[in-house]
Amino acid sequence: MEMYLQLLYEVTEQLNQESNLSGVIGVTLESLWRAVDLDFVAIVLGDDELGPFHYVGVRGVEDPLSLIGKECALPLWGTLAHALVQHPRNREPDYLVINDIRAQRRPTPGEFPWIAETGSFMILPMRQAGRTLGAFLLGSRQTDRFQAEPLRHFVYVMAGTAAYAIQEALSRTQAARWIKQLVSLQSLTHTITRTRDLDTVLTVLYSELSDLFGDADIRVFLNRPDPSEQALPGLATASEGRLHVYAPQPILAEQKEELVSNDLMGLLHWTMEAEQPLFFDPTMHPDDITDFYYRSSGRGLLVPIGEEKPEGVIYLSAPERAAPFEEGDLIVVRTISHSIAIALSAIDRHEKRTFPQRISASIPLAAAPLSSAVPTEANSTKQPPTDRYSGVT
C-alpha cells in the first residue's frame, strides 16, 4: 500500500507541472503503463456524452500514432457503451473489469481491433458532474490482471486524478481559445462592417476563420441573385441550385459532386429554412436529418447568415480536428454571421445608391460628339492628344 501511495504522490506532482492537454495525456499514459505493468493503455475523449469518442493517447500497440484522432467504435451492445452507461450507485467504484477476454467473449469482436484476443481488460469512465467525458482503457495479456482489490482501487484513484488534470487542461485550452476568438472577432467585425465589396468581405472571413479554427474546410453558400464576378485569385464561385458556393481555394473537379450531394444540400436548406445553426458529422450520411437536431457539438458546423430570411450559410468541416466544434465556437461563428449579414445589407444599399451615379457618369462618354474627340489647334498646344481607349499618350 505504501508503494501505491508513493506512486500516487509522484504522479500527482508530475500532473501539476503540466499545463497543456498533450502533456497531461503523456504523463497519464506513462504513469499507468509503468505503475500497473500494462501491455496497452488508451485514453478516449468524447464530443458528447453519447459520442462519438476519439483516441487522444495510446501506448503499447503497433503504430499508436495511426489511432490518434481516430473515432473509437461505440456499438450500443459493446463493452465500452455498457461501461459508460452504467452509472454506479452508493459510491461504488466506477469501472468495468473483464478478467478473461477469451472466456467472457468481451470486448466484442471489432470493438477494439488493436488489443490482444486473450488477457484481461479494464475500462474506467471519465465523468464530470455526472456527464461522461471519455474513458481510460487498460489491458494486459495476462488473465485476472485486475482481480486484486488493492490494484483496482489504486488504478481507480490514479485515473480519477488524471481525469481531473485532463479536465483542467481542457478548461485552460478553452479559455485561451475564447480570448483569441474575442480578439479576432473585434478585428473582423470592424473590418467587415466598413467594407462595401463582397470579395473583400469573403477574403477577410476566410482569413479570420482559418486563424480561429485551423485547418478546416471553409465555404460560404450565398443566395444572392447577382454573385460576384470579380473574384479574387484563389476565390472560386460555382452556382449550385439556388445557392452560390464560395471557397477560399479553387473547387476541384472531384469536389463538385460533394458540393451538390443530397446530404449536404439537405443540411443547407434545413439550416436556411429553420433559421437555426446545426452541428453535424461530416463522415455520416444520415437517413434522417433529425439525427443531428439535438447535437451540442460536432466536427462540422452550419450557421445561417442573418436571423430572418438568411442570405446564406457559413459551412465549417474538420473531420480530423482534435477537438469538436462546441457551443463556444457556435457563439463566435454566429456573431461573425451577423456581421456578414450587416455587410451584405450595406453592400446592397451602396450598390443601389451609387447605381444612378454610375449610369450618369457613363452617359457623356457614350453620347459625346465625335468632334469633341478631335483636338483643335488651341488645345493641342496645351497638352498632347490622348487615346482614351488605350490610355497611351
Residues 200 and 166 in one domain: no
Residues 225 and 329 in one domain: yes
Q: Cell 481516430 maps to which residue?
A: 70
Residues 158 and 11 in one domain: yes
Residues 159 and 199 in one domain: no
Instruction: Determine the angle formed by the axes of helices 327-367 and 149-192, rounding to 10 degrees.
Output: 20
pLDDT band at 296 (very low <50, low <70, confident <90, very high): confident
Instruction: Give the count of domains, the chain.
Output: 2
Residue-range definition of the domain harbouring residue 14:
2-171
Residue 365 lies in a domain: no
Question: Chain-wide mean pLDDT for the chain?
Answer: 77
Residues 80 and 203 in one domain: no
Residue 240 lies in a domain: yes
Q: Cell 481559445 maps to which residue?
A: 177
Q: Cell 478631335 maps to which residue?
A: 374
Residue 265 lies in a domain: yes
CATH number at residue 68: 3.30.450.40
Residue 48 lies in a domain: yes
Residues 267 and 327 in one domain: yes
**Coil, strand or helix at 144:** coil
pLDDT band at 143 (very low <50, low <70, confident <90, very high): very high
Residues 325 and 293 in one domain: yes
Cα separation, 225 vs 221, in Å, equals: 12
Q: What percent of the chain has pLDDT over 90?
A: 14
Q: Cell 452550419 maps to which residue?
A: 302
Tens of pLDDT, residues 180-231: 777 777 777 777 777 778 888 888 888 888 888 887 888 888 876 655 544 3
